[in-house]
Amino acid sequence: MKSAHLNRLYGAFLLLFVTSVAWTQKGITGTVTGNQGEPLIGVSILIQGTGSGTVTDVDGTYALTAREKDVLLFSYTGYGSVTRDVGAESVIDVTMQAGAQLNEVVVTALGITRERKALGYAVEELNSEELTRTKQSNLVNALQGQVAGVQVSSAGGGPGQASRIIIRGINSLDPSANNEPLFVIDGIPVTNETLTVGGGGSRNVSNRIADVNPADIATMTVLKGGPATALYGLRAANGAIVITTKTGQAGGLSVDLSTTYGIEEVNKYPETQSIYTQGYNGAYDPNSFWPTWGSTIAEARAQDPNHPAALYNNFENGYVQGHQWRHSLSVSGGNEKATFRTSLSRLTQEGVLPFSTYDNTSFRINANYAASEKFSFGGGINYIRSGGNRVNADRFNERLVYWAPQYDVQDYIREDGSMIGYRNGGTVGNNPVYGEATNKFIDDVDRYIGSLNFSYSPIQQLRINYTIGLDQYSDFRQNYGQGSVYTGAPNFEDNLSNGNGFVVETRLRRRDVTSNINAVFTTDLSPDLNVRLLAGFDAFDSSYDRVTTTGNDLDIYNLFSLNNAADILTSSALVDRRLLGLYGDLSLSFRDALYLTVTGRNDWSSTLPQANRSFFYPSVSLSLLLGEVLELPDYVSFVKLRASYAGIGKDTDPYRTNVVYGNSAGFPITGVTGWTRGDQQGAPDLKPERTNTIEFGTDLRFLENRVALDFTYYNAKSVDQIIPVPVSNASGFSTFVLNAGSMRNQGVEVSLRASPVANESFTWDVNLNYTRNRNEVLKIFEGVEDILIGTSFGYAGSSASIRLIEGQPYGNIYGRSYARYNPNGDNADNLFIDYSQPLLIGADGFPIIETTQKILGNTQPDWFGAITNTFSYKGIGLSFQFDTRQGVQKYNQQSNFFAAFGISPFTVNRDQTIVFDGVTADGTPNTTPVYLGQGEGPDGENYGAGYYRNIYRGSTENFVEEADWIRLRNVNLSYQLPATLLQNVFIRTAGLTLTGNNLWLDTPFSGFDPEGNRGNGNGDDGFGGFTYPSVRSFLLTLNVGF
Amino acid sequence: MKHTTPYFLIACFALFFSACGADYLDVNENPNVATRPPLDGLLASASYSTALNQYRISDGHTAYYVQYFASPNEASTTDIYQEISNGGAWSELYDAMTDLYDLIRFGQEDGLDRHVAIAKVLMAMNLGLVVDNWGDAPYSDAFTGETLRPTYDSAEDLYATIFRLLDEAIAELATAEDAPAVRDGSDFVYNGDLDRWTRAAYSLRARYLNHLSETSAYDPAAVLAAVDAGLAGPEEDAAVTSFSTRNPWAQVADNNANLLLGGWLSEQFVDALNGTTYGVADPRLPLLTNRNDAGEFVGTPNGAGRQGDGTKALESYLVTTGALSMENSPLTIITYAELQLIEAEAALATNDQSRANAAFVAGITANMAQIGVDSSAITDYLAAAYGSADVSRDDVFREKYAALFLSPETWVDARRYDYAYKDFTLAENAALNTFPVRIQYPTTETDRNADNVPLVTLTDPIFWDQ
Chain B contact for A684 (CB, 8 A cutoff)? no
Chain B contact for A614 (CB, 8 A cutoff)? no
> Which chain B residues are Cβ-neighbours of A427 within 8 angstroms?
259, 310-311
Chain A / chain B CB contacts < 8 angstroms: 266
d(CA A360, CA A443): 11
Interface test mutation site (partner A, options B92, B447, B452, B456, max chain A beta carbons within 10 A): B447
Chain A contact for B315 (CB, 8 A cutoff)? no
Closest CA to A209 of A160, A266, A265, A150: A160
User: Could you tell me the end-to-end alpha-carbon distance of chain B, in angstroms, rounded to an integer?
Assistant: 99
pLDDT the model gives residue A828: 62
Q: How far is A916 from chain B (nearest CA, A)?
A: 22
Interface test mutation site (partner B, options A667, A731, A789, A956, max chain B beta carbons within 10 A): A731
Residue A854: beta bridge partners? A815
Q: Render B403-461 in DSSP notation, one character per residue.
A: HTTT-THHHHHHHHTTT-STT--PPTT-SSSS---S-PPPHHHHHH-TTTSPP--TTSP
Chain B contact for A736 (CB, 8 A cutoff)? yes
Contact flag A374-B2 (C-beta cutoff 8 Å): yes
- Percent of residues in chain A assigned helix, strand, coil, to nearest 5: 15, 50, 40
Contact flag B17-A678 (C-beta cutoff 8 Å): no
Interface test mutation site (partner B, options A372, A453, A672, max chain B beta carbons within 10 A): A672
In terms of phi and psi (left: phi > 0; alpha: psi -120 to 50; beta: otherwise), the region of B32 is: alpha
- For A782, residues 6+ apart whose C-beta sits below 8 A from its C-beta are none
Interface test mutation site (partner B, options A552, A729, A852, max chain B beta carbons within 10 A): A729
pLDDT the model gives residue B19: 46
Contact flag A732-B306 (C-beta cutoff 8 Å): no
Q: How far is A392 from chain B (nearest CA, A)?
A: 19
Contact flag B48-A604 (C-beta cutoff 8 Å): no
pLDDT the model gives residue A11: 42
DSSP type of residue B34: B
**Residue spans of beta strands (DSSP E) within A97-146:** 105-107, 113-115, 123-127
**Residue B173: C-alpha distances to residues B108, B114, B160 (Å):** 13, 7, 20
Residue B21 has pLDDT above 70, yes or no: no
Contact flag B27-A578 (C-beta cutoff 8 Å): yes
CB A748 within 8 A of CB B413: no
Q: How far is A490 from chain B (nearest CA, A)?
A: 7
Residue A529 has pLDDT above 60, yes or no: yes
pLDDT class of A6 with cuts at 50, 70, 90: very low
Contact flag B310-A783 (C-beta cutoff 8 Å): no
Nearest CA in chain B to A657: B28
pLDDT the model gives residue A3: 46
| Core vs surface per residue A74-91: b (16+ CB within 10 A) or e | bbbbbbbbbebebeeeee
A891-916 mean pLDDT: 96
Chain B contact for A5 (CB, 8 A cutoff)? no
Q: How far is A16 from chain B (nearest CA, A)?
A: 7
Burial class (CB in 10 A: 0-12, 13-18, 19+), B1: exposed
**Vertex A254: Cα angle to A250 and A260 (nearest 5):** 140
- For A575, residues 6+ apart whose C-beta sits below 8 A from its C-beta are A542, A543, A544, A545, A654, A655
- For A755, residues 6+ apart whose C-beta sits below 8 A from its C-beta are A78, A98, A99, A706, A707, A763, A764, A765, A766
Encode pLDDT of A535-582 as tens digits: 999 999 999 999 999 999 999 999 999 999 998 989 999 999 999 999
CB B239 within 8 A of CB B51: yes
Contact flag B258-A500 (C-beta cutoff 8 Å): yes
Residue A1 has pLDDT above 50, yes or no: no
Output the pTM of the full model.
0.84
- For A985, residues 6+ apart whose C-beta sits below 8 A from its C-beta are none
Whole-complex ipTM: 0.92
**Residue A687: C-alpha distances to residues A591, A600, A611, A654 (Å):** 43, 19, 9, 13
Chain A contact for B161 (CB, 8 A cutoff)? no
> Which chain B residues are Cβ-neighbours of A605 within 8 angstroms?
25
Encode pLDDT of B401-440 as tens digits: 999 999 999 999 999 999 999 999 999 989 899 999 999 9
CB A256 within 8 A of CB A329: yes
Closest CA to A230 of A607, A623, A534: A534
Residue A773 has pLDDT above 60, yes or no: yes
Residue A16 has pLDDT above 70, yes or no: no
Encode pLDDT of A64-84 as tens digits: 877 777 778 887 766 777 888
Encode pLDDT of A785-805 as tens digits: 788 889 999 988 899 999 999
pLDDT the model gives residue B311: 56
Encode pLDDT of A198-238 as tens digits: 998 889 899 999 999 999 999 999 999 788 888 888 889 89
> Which chain B residues are Cβ-neighbours of A19 within 8 angstroms?
1-2
Chain A contact for B151 (CB, 8 A cutoff)? no
Chain B contact for A757 (CB, 8 A cutoff)? no
pLDDT the model gives residue A703: 86
3-class secondary-structure state, position A212: coil
Q: Centre a 10 Å sphere on the Cβ of residue A884 and count the other Cβ atoms it contains.
A: 18
Q: Centre a 10 Å sphere on the Cβ of residue A404 and count the other Cβ atoms it contains.
A: 26
pLDDT class of A980 with cuts at 50, 70, 90: confident
CB A351 within 8 A of CB A40: no
- For B146, residues 6+ apart whose C-beta sits below 8 A from its C-beta are none
Share of residues in chain B with pLDDT > 70 (%): 94
Maximum distance among all Cα pairs of chain B, rounded to whole angstroms: 115
CB A379 within 8 A of CB A450: yes
Encode pLDDT of A470-507 as tens digits: 999 999 999 999 999 998 899 998 998 778 899 999 99
CB A207 within 8 A of CB A162: yes
Partner residue facing B448 (CB), from A610, A661, A727: A727
Interface test mutation site (partner B, options A676, A735, A786, max chain B beta carbons within 10 A): A676
- For A611, residues 6+ apart whose C-beta sits below 8 A from its C-beta are A685
d(CA A613, CA B67): 59
Per the model's pLDDT, the better-predicted residue between A909 and A58 turns out to be: A909
Chain A contact for B42 (CB, 8 A cutoff)? yes
Q: How far is A584 from chain B (nearest CA, A)?
A: 18
Nearest CA in chain B to A814: B447
Residue B76 has pLDDT above 60, yes or no: yes
For residue B55, which phi and psi values (nearest 5 degrees)? -65, -45
Q: How far is B119 from chain A (nearest CA, A)?
A: 14
518-557 of A, contacting B, C-beta below 8 A: 539, 552-553
> Which chain A residues are Cβ-neighbours of B102 within 8 angstroms?
677
Q: How far does Cα B409 stand from its chain's mean position?
A: 7
Residue A364 has pLDDT above 90, yes or no: yes
* Average per-residue pLDDT for chain A: 90
Partner residue facing A456 (CB), from B5, B310, B429: B5
Q: Render A997-1010 in DSSP notation, one character per residue.
A: EEEEEE---SSS-T
Contact flag A674-B28 (C-beta cutoff 8 Å): no
Chain B contact for A658 (CB, 8 A cutoff)? yes
Partner residue facing A730 (CB), from B74, B94, B188: B94
What is chain A's Cα-based Rg?
31
3-class secondary-structure state, position A787: strand
Q: How far does Cα A565 stand from its chain's mean position?
A: 37
Partner residue facing A655 (CB), from B4, B30, B451: B30
| Core vs surface per residue A931-968: b (16+ CB within 10 A) or e | bbbbbebeeeeebbbbbbbbbbbbbbbbbbbbbbbebb
Strand A240-245 relative to strand A182-185: parallel, antiparallel, unpaired?
parallel
- For A302, residues 6+ apart whose C-beta sits below 8 A from its C-beta are none
CB A25 within 8 A of CB A67: yes
Maximum distance among all Cα pairs of chain A, rounded to whole angstroms: 110
766-785 of A, contacting B, C-beta below 8 A: 783-785
pLDDT the model gives residue A717: 95
> Which chain B residues are Cβ-neighbours of A803 within 8 angstroms?
447
